[in-house]
């Protein structure tokens, strides 16, 4: 019986979530179709007045929700993270998506474990886990960008020596390189076609992809355009510097792999053991959440574990 209730609850939650998400953020195409149907002269079908009024009210409500979310202080920062991570949704869509999914996760955790504390755990797991997920995707995409950056510079050098201009050389990068270089350089070319100068487009690229190697390349191009010089020779020197840096970084990553793995194991072991004991015998943890000393011990354990994890990460992180 409990399994049936759980399945029904999950299905209801999923359908509710997608219906709200569709109504709030994905109704543009539906609105356009209905408006075309309403304005078409030779169409025999007529849009019902009540349906049209409901559609307009839904659109206005959607816009009001989006405007409230856009006024948040960290919306611009969140938008930059989403772009860097390659997630093609708007910040207000992501905020609503995260909030609805966090609520569903909290209710699902309560239904499974029958404990009010699990509501908070399920909510925080999705709410804060989404930020970690974005950072992981952003880090992975920037790493892919950096791995292909030396090849992109090689393509630029070859194109410049063949007599192409810098803009034409960037266009050849779109044909030769793979994702995410292809998408980012293509977006930069489109921005220039829409009226941005080369300097502004390069700065926009630097904001979308916060990479030290890319920053070095862009600064070299901007300085060369101001004082002159052979750009292909400058880029060749930068390309060799980037290759040497990546080589050293790979060696350091190999040497510190054991320390980083030890940090992850030591940092996650108390949490994993505590969670397993809580699932096996919840009575053992009642005093920890009710008695002041138990709460102080939990807080002290979380703080000391966090400090130890940060120290291990600092020790094993070596900047090149």
Does the pLDDT of residue 35 top 70, yes or no? no
* Residue 43: per-residue pLDDT: 47
d(CA 294, CA 300): 10
Does the pLDDT of residue 88 top 60, yes or no? yes
Residues sharing a CB contact under 8 Å with residue 226, sequence separation 6 or more, in sequence order? none
**Contact indicator for 60, 28 with CB cutoff of 8 Å:** no
pTM: 0.65
5 alpha carbon, distance to own chain's centre? 34
Residue 62 — pLDDT band, cuts 50, 70, 90? low
The tens digit of pLDDT for each residue in 95-121 reads 778 888 888 888 887 777 777 777 888
* Residue 184: per-residue pLDDT: 87
The tens digit of pLDDT for each residue in 238-295 reads 888 888 888 888 888 888 888 788 878 877 888 888 888 877 877 777 777 777 787 7
**Sign of the CA dihedral running 204, 207, 209, 215:** positive
Task: Give the mean pLDDT of the chain.
Answer: 77
Does the pLDDT of residue 8 top 70, yes or no? no
* Residue 48: per-residue pLDDT: 62
Residue 22 — pLDDT band, cuts 50, 70, 90? low
The conformation of residue 282, written as its DSSP 8-state character, comes to G
62-86: burial string, b at 16+ Cβ within 10 Å, e else: beeebeebeeeeebeebbebbbbbb
268-291: burial string, b at 16+ Cβ within 10 Å, e else: eeeeeeeeeebeeeeeebeebeee
The conformation of residue 221, written as its DSSP 8-state character, comes to H
**Cα distances (Å, whole numbers) of residue 40 to 29, 47, 51, 54, 57:** 16, 11, 17, 20, 22
For 162, the token pair is: 């063949």
Mean pLDDT for the stretch of residues 190-211: 86
For 89, the token pair is: 């949704």
- Of 19-28, 102-111, 152-161, 167-176, least confident by mean pLDDT is 19-28
86 versus 55: the higher-pLDDT residue is: 86
- Of 23-32, 50-59, 202-211, least confident by mean pLDDT is 23-32
Mean pLDDT for the stretch of residues 60-75: 66
The conformation of residue 26, written as its DSSP 8-state character, comes to S
118 versus 171: the higher-pLDDT residue is: 171
- Of 45-54, 211-220, 278-287, least confident by mean pLDDT is 45-54
Give me the percent of the chain exceeding a pLDDT of 70. Answer: 76
* Residue 275: per-residue pLDDT: 80
d(CA 288, CA 261): 30
Give me the helices (H) in 86-177, please: 91-113, 117-161, 166-176
* Residue 58: per-residue pLDDT: 66
**Contact indicator for 126, 105 with CB cutoff of 8 Å:** yes
* Residue 277: per-residue pLDDT: 80
The conformation of residue 194, written as its DSSP 8-state character, comes to T
Does the pLDDT of residue 87 top 70, yes or no? yes
What count of other Cβ atoms lies within 10 Å of the Cβ of residue 141? 20
Mean pLDDT for the stretch of residues 185-191: 88
């Amino acid at each position: 019986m409990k399994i049936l209730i759980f399945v029904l609850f999950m299905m209801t939650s999923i359908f509710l979530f997608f219906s709200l998400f569709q109504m709030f953020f994905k109704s543009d195409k539906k609105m356009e179709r209905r408006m075309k149907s309403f304005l078409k002269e030779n169409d025999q079908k007529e849009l019902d007045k009540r349906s049209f009024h409901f559609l307009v009210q839904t659109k206005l409500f959607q816009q009001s929700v989006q405007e409230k979310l856009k006024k948040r202080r960290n919306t611009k920062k969140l938008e930059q993270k989403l772009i860097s991570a390659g997630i093609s949704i708007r910040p207000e869509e992501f905020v609503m998506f995260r909030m609805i999914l966090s609520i569903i996760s909290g209710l699902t955790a309560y239904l499974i474990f029958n404990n009010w504390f699990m509501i908070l755990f399920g909510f925080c797991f999705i709410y804060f886990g989404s930020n970690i997920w974005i950072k992981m995707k952003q880090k992975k995409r920037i790493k892919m960008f950096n791995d292909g950056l030396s090849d992109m510079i090689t393509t630029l050098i070859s194109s410049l020596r063949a007599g192409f201009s810098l803009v034409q050389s960037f266009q050849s990068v779109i044909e030769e390189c793979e994702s995410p270089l292809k998408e980012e350089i293509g977006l930069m070319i489109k921005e220039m076609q829409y009226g941005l100068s080369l300097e502004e487009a390069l700065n926009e690229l630097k904001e979308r992809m916060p990479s030290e190697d890319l920053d070095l390349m862009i600064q070299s191009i901007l300085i060369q355009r101001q004082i002159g010089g052979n750009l292909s020779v400058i880029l060749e020197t930068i390309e060799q510097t980037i290759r040497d840096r990546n080589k050293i970084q790979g060696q350091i990553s190999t040497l510190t792999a054991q320390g980083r793995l030890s940090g992850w194991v030591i940092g996650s072991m108390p949490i994993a053991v505590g969670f397993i004991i809580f699932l096996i015998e919840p009575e053992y943890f009642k005093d920890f959440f009710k008695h002041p000393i138990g709460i102080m011990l939990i807080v002290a354990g979380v703080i000391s574990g966090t400090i130890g994890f940060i120290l291990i990460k600092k020790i094993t992180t070596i900047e090149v």
